[in-house]
């Protein structure tokens, strides 16, 4: 019996396509199928050791490796940027072990692996966004016991999530959670959307793309199938709000994207630029053409 | 008029398990009936079982034998073997008890102690408070004490708080144990008046009075516990 | 706490539940005296032969009783007699090896151990309360007093911050905690304050049945008196049914309508609290009562 399928050369002799062996990929795909079937539910999976440390996105990489095909176009971003160390390393990794095409254009990619952002360019049906997740359990902040959080999810015992938001308002006068803002998925499970900024939360709701989440250290997979209802938790008198910036992007002039603050000189001059480099470059290029 | 209370063959013995299971027989076989508007005064020397009988009638002691039936809410209730909540319902609506000593609860004011039986019956707080104030005034408790917990009060003051508590609500059956002991002449008269008023309002009263003049002023009839015991002495007493 | 401060509690309680078994106190003629309450009233909790043993005479065995609405049942006995095991079995935390515990939720009888974890948890945060001996076990020590009080309401779907806060302020007053402490964590509270906060956290949902495990156990005597007074008033004003574990007979005398005395896993005597304490029948109860100076 042959478990290794005959697959095209990957440029890395001795390694299977996309690094993981086919049995492992199938196991992970089964986990992903279950995750898609139960939106927001955390599915345990037998995570493998990857040739990089935890915290570098091993959960996302395993998910990506399991769904990657020869004709896929892969985009990897870290905090919205294609050119940061983590993004470049992961992209190179897959170039070597799978030989797939890569892209920085959101519209060109079939699979986008991301750390901490959802691209500004709206995703399309057929695209897959893979999140790297450090802590998948939204209840962990208050409940250290795994069996207890499992029971809380199973029974929809979520009162404590609002305790967290209540405490936010007590301390800051408003809900100050800026990242990993908890959401309720399809009216059932409360989910940690990974440390994306609160700004990105509305993009989760009814997104046409398939959103997959992989946590390597905690060995959990979860998913939002296309067009899933996703609601950010809030209070009637303190409704969920997305942050706005006073200034526009210094490069492309965008006023509707998520901006990073840069200190550009020794005098502490601040400038704001898009965190999504592809969005910013595309807009800037269009701007140059029209001027 | 129908009786309010029918007691038949009541006996009480204490088994002291801490003292080589010594058996102390206090009451042999007491039987009587009581009607509304009557005042039955218990007599007999000290240790004859007067207070013990009172406590049995209030459900505080268990009768070792016999039957106590009380008319409660238009029905007869057997106290022997009654459930706690039945006894508590009796105490809330039917049987009042002015004990010899006030049980002091920390932090509860004199006024609250007095109002409690009325409040337990669902009386509005305002009404209960004005009744309590009227009673405390009548019993000559100075107003400055009303809002203090009675723990530090003198014996006579505590006694009068206890009496006010007993008379805040009307009872079909009222038990009073030495209510005039340790009271001065003025307050003694107030208490006798209160009892007379309750009697006139058709309460049935069972009392223990140390002083003879009080006894004679208030009694409709007497029950001598020693002779009661003597009268029924033939009956053997083994049933527990 | 004064009964006055409970008026608002009573009002909200009345809105929630139409309790209409009280009569006019003004007269007691046969026409108006209520029919005996027990004639119609349904029990709230029923234990039948509840048994859970960890060893010979360790735990509880063959415990049966019926608790009615508004009753406070004390469980007394020395440590190791099985009181806490029984409380855990009654409240669904521990599965008995024999016997049943049934709770009447106003419509139906539920077998506390057969209804399933979901229903049991819902009960525990709505119609039931559980006051732990150590407030650390019953509070979230890392979140503010206000959030501790509001959690049950949030779990029941309350989603208005302003109203949650108002409820928390009201309850802090009811349990005599300075409302200004609403945003402080219980870590900065004294033992007595923590216990009062735990009581507020439990009662905010207006439970019908509250389990209490030595609620004044770890406190100084002076602090105890205040808690007992508070509990005594709340129990009465909110018409709570309580199962109270205590080894302190003075506490039982003050709070409990009825008492069950446990010894070596069995109930040796049960009845009206003052009757058990003033006229104990069982040798062990006599020993217990005679061992204390004055209750």
Return the domain boundaries, chain B.
36-62+84-236
Q: Active site includes A252?
A: yes
| Rounded Cα gap, residues B131 and A17, in angstroms | 92
**Chain C residue nearest residue A235, CA to CA:** C159
The alpha-carbon gap from A161 to the nearest alpha carbon of chain C, in Å, equals 9
pLDDT at C222 over 90: no
Query: Residues near C257 by Cβ (< 8 Å), separated by ≥ 6?
Result: B84, B85, B88, C71, C72, C73, C272, C273
Query: Residues near A10 by Cβ (< 8 Å), separated by ≥ 6?
Result: A16, A17, A18, A96, A97, A98, A99
The alpha-carbon gap from A215 to the nearest alpha carbon of chain C, in Å, equals 27
pLDDT at C40 over 60: no
The alpha-carbon gap from A271 to the nearest alpha carbon of chain C, in Å, equals 36
| Rounded Cα gap, residues A80 and B240, in angstroms | 87
Q: Active site includes A40?
A: yes
DSSP state, residue B45: S
Identify the pLDDT of residue B22: 92
DSSP state, residue B90: H
Identify the pLDDT of residue C19: 37
Q: Active site includes A80?
A: no
- Which residue's entry shows tokens 């206090």? B26
Identify the pLDDT of residue B46: 85
Length of chain B: 240
Is the Cβ pair A166, C154 closer than 8 Å?
yes
- Judge whether A160 and C151 are in contact, CB under 8 Å: yes
pLDDT tens profile C140-162: 999 999 999 999 999 999 999 99
Is the Cβ pair C272, B59 closer than 8 Å?
yes
Is the Cβ pair B60, C68 closer than 8 Å?
no
CATH class of the region B36-62+84-236 = alpha beta
Residue C286 corresponds to which tokens in the numbers above? 């006599």
**Which residues from B are below 8 Å from C273, CB to CB?**
84
Instruction: Measure CB to CB from residue B84 to each of C28, C226, C271 and give the nearest one.
Output: C271
pTM for this entry: 0.86
- Which residue's entry shows tokens 């007093």? C145
Is the Cβ pair B59, C290 closer than 8 Å?
no
**Which residues from C are below 8 Å from B16, CB to CB?**
286
Identify the pLDDT of residue C33: 43
pLDDT tens profile A63-91: 999 999 999 999 999 999 999 999 999 99
- Judge whether B30 and B12 are in contact, CB under 8 Å: no
Instruction: Measure CB to CB from residue B105 to each of C254, C257, C273 and give the nearest one.
Output: C254
Helices B125-138, B110-120: axis angle to 10 degrees equals: 130
Is the Cβ pair B73, C272 closer than 8 Å?
no
| Rounded Cα gap, residues A32 and A239, in angstroms | 32
Between residues C5 and B161, the one the model is more confident about? B161
Residues of chain C whose beta carbon is less than 8 angstroms from a beta carbon of chain B are 2-4, 7, 22-28, 30, 33-38, 68, 71, 225-226, 228-229, 232, 236, 254, 257-258, 271-275, 278-279, 281-283, 286-287, 290
Identify the pLDDT of residue C218: 80
Query: Residue A259: which pLDDT band, with cuts at 50, 70 and 90?
Result: very high
The alpha-carbon gap from A240 to the nearest alpha carbon of chain C, in Å, equals 12
Across C247-268, average pLDDT: 95
Is the Cβ pair C161, A151 closer than 8 Å?
no
Start-to-end CA distance of chain A, whole Å, equals 64
Render each residue's pLDDT in chain B as its tens digit; 240 residues. Answer: 689 999 999 999 999 998 888 999 999 999 999 999 999 999 988 888 999 999 999 999 999 999 999 999 889 999 998 999 999 999 999 999 999 888 888 888 999 999 999 998 889 999 999 999 999 999 999 999 999 999 889 988 999 999 999 999 999 999 999 998 889 999 999 999 999 999 999 999 999 998 888 888 899 999 998 865 544 433 333 333
Is the Cβ pair B121, C22 closer than 8 Å?
yes
Average pLDDT, rounded, for chain A:
92
The alpha-carbon gap from C123 to the nearest alpha carbon of chain A, in Å, equals 12
Conformation bin of residue A73: beta by default, left when phi > 0, alpha when psi is -120 to 50: beta
pLDDT tens profile A22-43: 999 999 999 999 999 999 999 9
Query: Residue C10: which pLDDT band, with cuts at 50, 70 and 90?
Result: very low
Identify the pLDDT of residue B128: 95
- Chains A and B touch each other (3 or more Cβ pairs < 8 A): no
Identify the pLDDT of residue A1: 41
Length of chain A: 291
Conformation bin of residue B20: beta by default, left when phi > 0, alpha when psi is -120 to 50: left
Identify the pLDDT of residue B228: 57
**Residue % of chain C over a pLDDT of 70:** 85
**Which residues from A are below 8 Å from C162, CB to CB?**
237
Q: DSSP string of A152-209?
A: HHHHT--HHHHHHHHHHHHHHSS----BS--EEETTTEEE---S-BGGGHHHHTT-SS
Active-site hit among A31, A40, A47, A57: A40
CA dihedral B223, B229, B231, B237 (to 10 degrees): 140
- Judge whether B24 and C294 are in contact, CB under 8 Å: no
Is the Cβ pair C38, B75 closer than 8 Å?
no
Report the SS3 class of residue B33: strand
- Rg, Å, chain A Cα set: 20
- Judge whether A23 and A182 are in contact, CB under 8 Å: no
**Chain A residue nearest residue C162, CA to CA:** A237
Mutate to test the interface with A, among C141, C145, C147 (most CBs of A within 10 A): C147
Across C77-102, average pLDDT: 95
Identify the pLDDT of residue A290: 61
pLDDT at C2 over 50: no
Active-site hit among A31, A57, A60, A274: A274
Identify the pLDDT of residue A11: 60
Identify the pLDDT of residue B86: 94
pLDDT at A242 over 80: yes
Identify the pLDDT of residue B234: 36
Across C67-93, average pLDDT: 94
């Amino acid at each position: 019996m042959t478990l290794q399928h005959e697959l095209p050369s990957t440029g890395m002799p001795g390694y299977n396509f996309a690094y993981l062996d086919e049995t492992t990929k199938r196991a992970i795909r089964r986990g992903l199928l279950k995750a898609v079937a139960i939106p927001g539910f955390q599915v345990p999976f037998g995570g493998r050791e990857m040739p990089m440390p935890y915290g570098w996105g091993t959960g996302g990489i395993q998910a990506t490796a399991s769904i990657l095909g020869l004709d896929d176009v892969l985009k990897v971003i870290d905090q919205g940027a294609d050119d940061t160390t983590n993004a470049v390393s992961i992209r190179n990794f897959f170039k070597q072990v799978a030989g797939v095409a890569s892209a920085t254009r959101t519209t060109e990619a079939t699979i986008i692996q991301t750390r901490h952002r959802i691209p500004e360019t709206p995703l399309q049906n057929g695209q897959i966004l893979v999140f790297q997740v450090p802590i998948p359990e939204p209840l962990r902040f208050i409940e250290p016991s795994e069996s207890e959080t499992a029971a809380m999810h199973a029974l929809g015992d979520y009162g404590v999530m609002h305790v967290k938001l209540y405490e936010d308002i007590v301390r800051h006068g408003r809900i100050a959670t800026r990242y990993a803002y908890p959401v309720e998925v399809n009216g059932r499970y409360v989910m940690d959307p990974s440390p994306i900024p609160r700004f990105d939360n509305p993009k989760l709701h009814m997104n046409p793309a398939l959103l997959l989440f992989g946590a390597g250290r905690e060995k959990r997979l979860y998913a939002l199938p296309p067009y899933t209802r996703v609601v950010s938790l809030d209070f009637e008198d303190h409704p969920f709000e997305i942050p706005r910036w006073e200034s526009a992007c210094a490069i492309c002039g965008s006023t509707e994207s998520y901006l990073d603050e840069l200190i550009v000189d020794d005098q502490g001059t601040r400038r704001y630029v898009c965190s999504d480099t592809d969005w910013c470059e595309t807009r800037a290029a269009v701007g140059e053409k029209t001027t | 008029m129908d009786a309010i209370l029918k007691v038949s063959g009541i006996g009480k013995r204490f088994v002291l398990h801490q003292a080589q299971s010594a058996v102390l027989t206090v009451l042999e076989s007491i039987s009587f009936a009581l009607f509304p508007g009557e005042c039955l005064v218990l007599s007999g020397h000290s240790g004859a079982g007067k207070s013990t009988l009172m406590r049995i009638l209030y459900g505080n002691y268990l009768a070792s034998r016999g039957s106590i039936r009380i008319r409660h809410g238009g029905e007869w209730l057997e106290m022997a073997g009654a459930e706690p909540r039945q006894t508590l319902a009796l105490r809330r609506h039917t049987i009042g008890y002015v004990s010899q000593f006030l049980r002091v609860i920390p932090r509860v004011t004199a006024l609250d102690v007095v109002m409690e039986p009325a409040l337990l019956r669902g009386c509005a707080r305002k009404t209960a408070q004005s009744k309590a104030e009227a009673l405390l005034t009548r019993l000559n408790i100075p107003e400055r004490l009303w809002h203090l917990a009675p723990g530090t009060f003198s014996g006579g003051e505590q006694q009068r708080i206890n009496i006010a508590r007993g008379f805040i609500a009307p009872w079909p059956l009222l038990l009073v144990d030495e209510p005039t002991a340790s009271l001065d002449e003025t307050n003694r008269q107030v208490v006798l008046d209160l009892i007379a008023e309750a009697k006139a309002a058709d309460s049935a009263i069972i009392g223990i009075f140390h002083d003879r003049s009080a006894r004679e002023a208030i009694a409709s009839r007497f029950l001598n516990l020693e002779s009661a015991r003597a009268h029924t002495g033939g009956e053997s007493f083994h049933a527990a | 706490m004064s009964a006055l401060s409970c008026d608002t509690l009573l009002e909200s309680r009345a809105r929630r539940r139409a309790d209409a078994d009280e009569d006019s106190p003004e007269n007691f003629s046969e026409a108006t005296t209520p029919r005996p309450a027990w004639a119609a009233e349904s029990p709230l909790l029923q234990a039948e032969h509840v048994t859970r043993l960890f060893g010979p005479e360790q735990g509880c065995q063959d415990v049966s009783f019926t608790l009615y609405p508004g009753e406070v049942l004390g469980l007394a006995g020395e440590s190791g007699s099985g009181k806490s095991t029984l409380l855990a079995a009654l409240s669904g935390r521990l599965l008995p090896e024999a016997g049943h515990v049934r709770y009447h939720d106003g419509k139906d009888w539920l077998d506390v151990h057969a209804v399933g974890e979901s229903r049991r948890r819902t009960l525990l945060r709505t119609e039931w309360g559980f006051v732990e001996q150590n407030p650390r076990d019953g509070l979230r020590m890392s979140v503010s007093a206000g959030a501790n009080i509001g959690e049950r309401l949030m779990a029941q779907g309350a989603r208005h911050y302003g109203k949650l806060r108002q409820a928390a302020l009201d309850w802090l007053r009811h349990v005599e905690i300075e409302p200004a402490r609403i945003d402080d964590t219980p870590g900065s509270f004294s033992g007595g304050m923590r216990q009062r906060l735990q009581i507020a956290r439990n009662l905010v949902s207006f439970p019908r049945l509250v389990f209490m495990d030595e609620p004044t156990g770890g406190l100084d005597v002076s602090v105890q008196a205040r808690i007992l007074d508070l509990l005594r008033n709340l129990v009465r004003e909110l018409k709570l049914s309580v199962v109270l574990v205590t080894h302190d007979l003075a506490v039982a005398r003050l709070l409990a309508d009825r008492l069950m005395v446990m010894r070596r896993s069995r109930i040796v005597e049960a009845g009206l609290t003052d009757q058990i304490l003033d006229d104990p029948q069982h040798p062990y109860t006599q020993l217990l009562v005679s061992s204390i100076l004055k209750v």
